[in-house]
């Protein structure tokens, strides 16, 4: 068992790390003035680790954790969370699954015991499994009926065709219907390995207490051969139109972008803000404020361990879809050709550093930062260092990245709604 201590300037916060003999990593950030503790158990497993027949299984496992364990019924779990006076939840993403909770610092032992139970000992009762399958199928149906969500799912499938990173986290109705108890147990045994587990805890705590709390259960997790190695996807340009009788046309346009660990990630974040990341961005001002083309328009940056996407979403009336595509492409091409003013860059830096620093006041955000830094970089990166790196980005850096990424012939567009596909194709080809 190895440990390390790193003092921090954040109001006396101290970060410590211990690696158990089987590879489980335990990270804590002590904040003496806090009344609470927030803990997360992170597993480096997500929807991109699934094959098509088991698409959605990571999300299914996450749901089942709250449906009873070997020691707690679903009602026991709900009552214990309520008694802790805090909150507990879980999420599944493309690359990670996390079980997390927050409670008063004095309740840390109960909090840790509950999270470990949810992670390691789900009962997977056949009755509960069928009930939760029904819930997930309804969740998939809800997504199908929510076009501004669905268009993002369709975009991912078209942007990274045939690659697991492009598949939906929820899976499909067909794949979820075919997942049984045996499949879940086998998948969990294969993928829930100690070397891919990170325990992240933040608040008024003692590092050794956290290590002692989790060592017996998590330290005894058996090691097994690694599951298949992830492969990076290749993005696919082109236009994909999905006809639907909707009142609006929903569009997502995208280009490839740097990964979460790429040195250009800070320039990419600033590029996103300048393009459409806030109300003063080019897209918002041109598309909504000047032209009234869309109520909802924004850009987004999705960054993963080995790849990323810089995208634009627009919701427009069917008769103005081609115009909206033309205007959005124009803003993208304008960024690629430059220039970017120093004022634009300064505003984007203020916005980005402000959001970074404000997140420090949220204990869940701090817990997530601690875990994500460990998963992505193998160490903590102080907030002060992140802000300093943002400040070093120049306008030339952002323009160079824009020219590198925003190549017209490499644009991928997914359009959902009642629109003229031929007109959009002509606009894409122009």
pLDDT single digits (tens) 255-295 = 999 999 999 999 999 999 999 999 999 999 999 999 999 99
Cα–Cα distance list, 176 to 136, 340, 352 (Å): 8, 47, 38
pLDDT of res. 5: 42
Query: In the annotation, is 62 catalytic?
Result: yes
Q: Are 336 and 402 in contact (CB under 8 A)?
A: yes
> With 90 as the cut, is the pLDDT of residue 403 above it?
yes
DSSP codes, 417-428: ES--HHHHHHHH
- When the pLDDT of each residue in the chain is averaged and rounded to a whole number, the result is 94
More confident residue, 92 or 83: 92
pLDDT digits 0-9 by tens, 149-184: 999 999 999 999 999 999 999 999 999 999 999 999
Read off the pLDDT band of 84 (50, 70, 90): confident
More confident residue, 3 or 138: 138
Please tell me the CATH code under which domain 238-429 is placed.
3.30.830.10
Which residue shows structure tokens 């190695």? 229
| Tally of CB atoms within 10 A around 215 | 17
pLDDT of res. 2: 54
> With 90 as the cut, is the pLDDT of residue 111 above it?
yes
CATH fold of 2-218 reads Cytochrome Bc1 Complex; Chain A, domain 1 (3.30.830)
Segments making up each domain of the chain, as ranges: 2-218, 238-429
Tokens representing residue 53 in the block: 């027949």
Q: Interior CA angle at 345 toward 344 and 349, to 5°?
A: 120
The catalytic position among 16, 29, 44, 62 is 62
Identical fold for domains 2-218 and 238-429, yes or no, is yes
């Amino acid at each position: 068992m190895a440990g390390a201590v790193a003092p921090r300037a954040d109001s006396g916060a101290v970060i410590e790390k211990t690696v158990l003999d089987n590879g489980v990593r335990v990270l804590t950030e002590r904040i003496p003035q806090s009344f609470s503790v927030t803990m997360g158990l992170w597993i480096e497993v997500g929807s991109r680790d699934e094959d098509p027949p088991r698409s959605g299984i990571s999300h299914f496992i996450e749901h089942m954790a709250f449906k009873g364990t070997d020691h707690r019924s679903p009602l026991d779990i709900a009552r214990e969370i309520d008694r802790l006076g805090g909150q507990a939840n879980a999420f599944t993403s493309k690359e990670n699954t996390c079980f997390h909770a927050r409670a008063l610092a004095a309740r840390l032992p109960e909090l840790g015991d509950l999270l470990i139970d949810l992670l390691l000992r789900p009962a997977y009762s056949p009755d509960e499994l069928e009930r939760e399958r029904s819930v997930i199928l309804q969740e998939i149906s809800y997504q199908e009926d929510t076009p501004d969500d669905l268009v993002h799912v369709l975009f991912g499938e078209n942007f990274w065709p045939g690659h697991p990173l492009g598949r939906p986290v929820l899976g499909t109705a067909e794949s979820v219907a075919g997942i049984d108890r045996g499949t879940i147990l086998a998948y969990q045994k294969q993928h829930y390995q100690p070397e891919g587990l990170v325990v992240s805890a933040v608040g008024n705590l003692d590092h050794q207490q956290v290590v002692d709390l989790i060592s017996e259960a998590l330290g005894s997790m058996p090691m097994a051969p690694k599951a298949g190695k992830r492969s990076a996807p290749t993005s696919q340009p082109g236009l994909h139109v999905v006809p639907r009788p909707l009142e609006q046309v929903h569009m997502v346009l995208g280009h490839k972008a740097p990964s979460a660990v790429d040195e250009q990630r800070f320039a990419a974040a600033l590029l996103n803000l300048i393009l459409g990341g806030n109300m003063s961005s080019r897209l918002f001002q041109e598309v909504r404020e000047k032209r009234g083309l869309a109520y909802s328009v924004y850009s987004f940056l999705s960054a993963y361990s080995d790849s990323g996407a810089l995208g634009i979403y627009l919701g427009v009336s069917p008769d103005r879809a081609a115009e909206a595509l033309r205007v959005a492409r124009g803003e993208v091409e304008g960024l690629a050709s430059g220039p970017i003013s120093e004022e634009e860059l300064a505003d984007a830096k203020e916005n980005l550093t402000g959001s970074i620093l404000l997140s420090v006041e949220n204990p869940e955000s701090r817990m997530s930062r601690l875990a994500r830094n460990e998963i992505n970089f193998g160490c903590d990166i102080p907030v002060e260092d992140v802000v300093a790196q943002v400040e070093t980005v120049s306008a030339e850096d952002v323009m160079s990245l824009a020219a590198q990424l925003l190549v017209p012939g490499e644009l991928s567009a997914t359009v959902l709604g009642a629109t003229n596909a031929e007109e959009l194709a002509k606009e894409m080809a122009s």
